[in-house]
Structure 1
């Protein structure tokens, strides 16, 4: 018996089959433009796996504010046709097996709790740093989603009178502002470009990266004194940059010491899973709910 897994993103849908304790048959297809096209693509993948193995269920990682009990995806995302209808029921009718669906950042956190960087702790915060900043709250090894499913939406945190953590701490958004300040054509300055220019010593790039690191440290400071978790886990593209993670740790400690909260000692770690995190976490969610 295996579980077919999908991770729906704005540009592509990744998939695989969880067999025993490993993810096999991994692949992807371009995110379709319509719901009908999405169902056709997903059914084709499902049928391919079903031809060689019996399928226990389907586990799905999705953008948006996922009400996994009601089976409806609220909020907004880069895949607008997924929202505000009984999507889980349609998927179960499509596949003919139990289906679970959970928010993508929550899935990534569940993967870390199950098999990754939070497998040995009770309480953790998972911060995903990308085009915006999302995350998840883990209490007693369980997701805490909140009354309105906003638990873990750390990017909405205000860091000053008008700027959110997403605006000041996302490498994508910081790089866009850097590009405009330098008069570069749209699309030239992405996170990688910004970091490279900062490493070369370009003064404005250094200033922008410093500001981004400070914003992330302030966000972790706020979360640390609010939740005092066993561990803070950072995911997203910046998690591969050990130099940045070290500077975030250092700057967070500075803010804690500066404001008399030096007794709070957040254990800031990087995620164990990268591209497969959402798929593995979707399996964990299926086992907790549908399985």
Structure 2
């Protein structure tokens, strides 16, 4: 038995890459590797076993962060987000039978919340939340210092929040579309006539210059995010919300969200009077959030048993 058997394998399944890391019990990442995410279930199984083979005999257990609606008790993936081929895949059972080790899986948005609860912006917070801005709006709620999964493992699925009273409902009006960072970058890239329709780096360079072609669009995007925050706050009364996703690495994002939040409160004094403002901060963890949050969930399960 080597020293590495005191460590854990954590896997973060994303739409583009599958990241895997060796991490100790304190959350220190020893190293991280990544593979391209396969396009179908058979290739996915082959990729996954290839990853697992690299750690056989070296780890105590396996943690997984995965998109989709996750039954974390049974370890089953439903829908799989962009990876629709994972629908109804018994991921936990697959890994446990292959490795003969304990495995725990958690939704990616909730993993981000757990990472912040463990070692980040929600560490000393009683009631808080994480909003991850990407293709849609993912997230997780921490209530009474514990992750709130809900009755059907779907608490914090903010993409499905309705932002319009019109019927029939248009998917363009739900929070996942209105607060989509990908949609915003695509629209801004088009306005700037960029060759790359998802050139986030160039878009934010222009935002820093207050480019009038795209800044109103940015303000609208941030205002949409704020409306989601206000709706969440009216229901669960949080102390702090941490903003995550790749776009959150840009300081101007949280600055503008805060600005739009203050403008919204000022426009309706009754809201400012009746609802205690929530603190809005950037997430502490970026690309490693899923890896750490999944491990925290695994450690909790191991302690319970």
Q: TM-score, normalising length from structure 1?
A: 0.90
1:228 to 231, 234, 237: 237
1:45 to 43, 51, 57: 51
- Does residue 12 of the first structure (1) align with residue 28 of the second (2)? no
Q: How far is the alpha carbon of 1:78 from its aligned partner?
A: 2.1
2:249 to 214, 226, 240: 240
Instruction: Name stretches of at least 5 consecutive residues in structure 1 with no aligned partner.
Output: none
**Structure 1 stretch 174-183 or stretch 132-141: which is displaced more?**
174-183
Q: Secondary structure at the match of 1:261?
A: helix
Q: How far is the alpha carbon of 1:129 from its aligned partner?
A: 0.6
Q: How far is the alpha carbon of 1:251 from its aligned partner?
A: 1.6
Question: Quick one: distance in 2 between partners of 1:23 and 1:199?
Answer: 33
- Does residue 188 of the first structure (1) align with residue 197 of the second (2)? yes
Q: How far is the alpha carbon of 1:182 from its aligned partner?
A: 6.4
- Does residue 280 of the first structure (1) align with residue 298 of the second (2)? no
Question: Quick one: distance in 2 between partners of 1:204 and 1:156?
Answer: 30
2:38 maps to what in 1? 32
Q: How far is the alpha carbon of 1:180 from its aligned partner?
A: 5.0
Aligned length: 288
Question: Quick one: distance in 2 between partners of 1:44 and 1:173?
Answer: 34
State whether residues 225 and 261 of structure 1, in contact with CA within 8 Å, keep that contact through their aligned partners in structure 2: no
Q: How far is the alpha carbon of 1:159 from its aligned partner?
A: 2.5
Counterparts in 2 of 1:202 and 1:258: CA distance versus 1, 3 Å: closer
- Does residue 115 of the first structure (1) align with residue 125 of the second (2)? no
For 1:1-291, what aligned pairs fall within 5 Å after superposition? Answer: 1-21=6-26, 22-51=28-57, 53=58, 55-160=59-164, 161=166, 162=170, 163-180=173-190, 187-259=196-268, 260-263=270-273, 264-290=276-302
Q: TM-score, normalising length from structure 2?
A: 0.86
State whether residues 79 and 86 of structure 2, in contact with CA within 8 Å, keep that contact through their aligned partners in structure 1: no
**Structure 1 stretch 270-279 or stretch 148-157: which is displaced more?**
148-157
